[in-house]
Amino acid sequence: MTAKLLNGKELAQKKREQLKSDVEALTEHHRQPGLAVILVGEDPASTTYVRSKQKACEQAGIYSVLIKKDDTISEEELLAEIDRLNEDPKIDGILVQLPIPKHISEQAVIERIHPDKDVDGFHPINIGKMMTGEETFLPCTPYGVVEMLKEAKIEIAGKHAVIVGRSNIVGKPVGQLLLNENATVTYCHSRTKNLREMTKQADILIVAIGRPNFIEAADVKPGAVVVDVGINRVDGKLCGDVDFEGVKEVASHLTPVPGGVGPMTITMLLENTVQSARKRV
Ligand code: GUN
């Protein structure tokens, strides 16, 4: 079997075109949607991600501001910056790029962003709403994963979804969104015993563990849908958490890296920002 590729780049492009016209209409009739991104320090990966987010905003016609802070900034100063953005009427979404320096509490920062501007969907109020299935901002990567599955008309209800990884950004919320779509969900992580026995039982396998080529063909049930959320750099080349060449011979569907989940994450951030602006009209 050769897996069908789930092309995130193509879907992201299609969605961004729709968003562009939504933004045009909002800008014309009301006000331009606005996103503020705070970058603390100069981590190269974070700098690259933030640049991509800004470029995507620009292309969609969304007003964006980048606030760069030195990594010596105090927690108090960072929280004061968030307070200012919470009050800024031009700003619909606030994103603090993670990770942040260790001397600042990540949770304090996340909780300071007003839930109505939390386009990352990380605030406990929004996580709670996601769990109860209320409408809210959904975390961008998990939201993008579910959108890709729906676009490919992959049935989720009744399927066994196995999640490898339990981060607050991807693993935990993607399991919750699949549960909301009536999947049966198993979470695996670094302390899971017989992890590879679990992954072999998955109809839908989501891998977000941050280890290059961790999932191999032998770990995948023939015909499974495999979503690779990993972005690793090996010898200067990007690769996911899934051994693409091996797994594509076993899976029915597979996301490439790059060009799979990555472009969807930013698209869903734009979508959340536009949704936020619409609510504020
Ligand atoms: N760092 C890595 N992914 C993300 C994300 O989705 N949002 C934020 N704020 N930081 C990140």
CATH number of the domain enclosing 239 = 3.40.50.720
Return the CATH number at 75.
Answer: 3.40.50.10860
E-state strands within 147-191 = 160-164, 184-188
Q: Are strands 34-40 and 93-96 parallel, antiparallel or unpaired?
A: parallel
Name the pTM for this structure.
0.97
Q: Closest Cα to residue 5, out of 271, 257, 237?
A: 257
Candidate of 95, 137, 265, 269 to mutate for ligand 1, largest count of ligand atoms within 8 Å of Cβ: 95
Task: Classify residue 103 as exposed, middle or buried by CB count within 10 Å of its CB (0-12, 13-18, 19+).
Answer: exposed
- Cα–Cα distance between 38 and 95 in angstroms, integer? 6
Task: Report how far ligand 1's centroid is from the alpha carbon of 218 (Å).
Answer: 31
177 and 85 housed in the same domain: no
189 with 150, same domain: the answer is yes
Residue 78 and residue 147 in one domain: no
Predicted ipTM of the assembly: 0.97
The C-alpha R_g of the chain, in whole angstroms, comes to 19
pLDDT lower than 50: segments of the chain: none
d(CA 165, CA 163): 6
Tell whether 102 and 155 lie within a shared domain. no
Q: Within a domain: residue 272?
A: no
The active-site residue, picked from 116, 118, 120, 241, is 120
- Would you say residue 155 lies in a domain? yes
pLDDT of amino acid 44: 94
Same domain, 98 and 156: no
Q: What is the pLDDT of residue 49?
A: 95
* CB 39 near ligand 1, within 6 Å: no
Flag whether 166 is marked binding: yes
Domain count for the chain = 2
Cα distance between the two ends of the chain: 50
Q: Quick one: pLDDT at residue 1?
A: 72
Domain encompassing residue 74: 31-117
Classified as helix, coil or strand, 268 is helix
d(CA 27, CA 264): 23
CA distances (Å), 160 to each of 204, 221, 228, 252, in order? Answer: 6, 11, 17, 15
Predicted local confidence at residue 172, as pLDDT: 98
Do the domain assignments include residue 65?
Answer: yes
DSSP bridge partners of 45: none
Mutation to probe ligand 1, out of 54, 96, 169, 174 (largest number of atoms < 8 A from CB): 169
Any domain includes 201: yes
Tell me whether strands 237-239 and 232-234 are parallel, antiparallel or unpaired: antiparallel
**CA 182 and chain centroid, separation:** 20
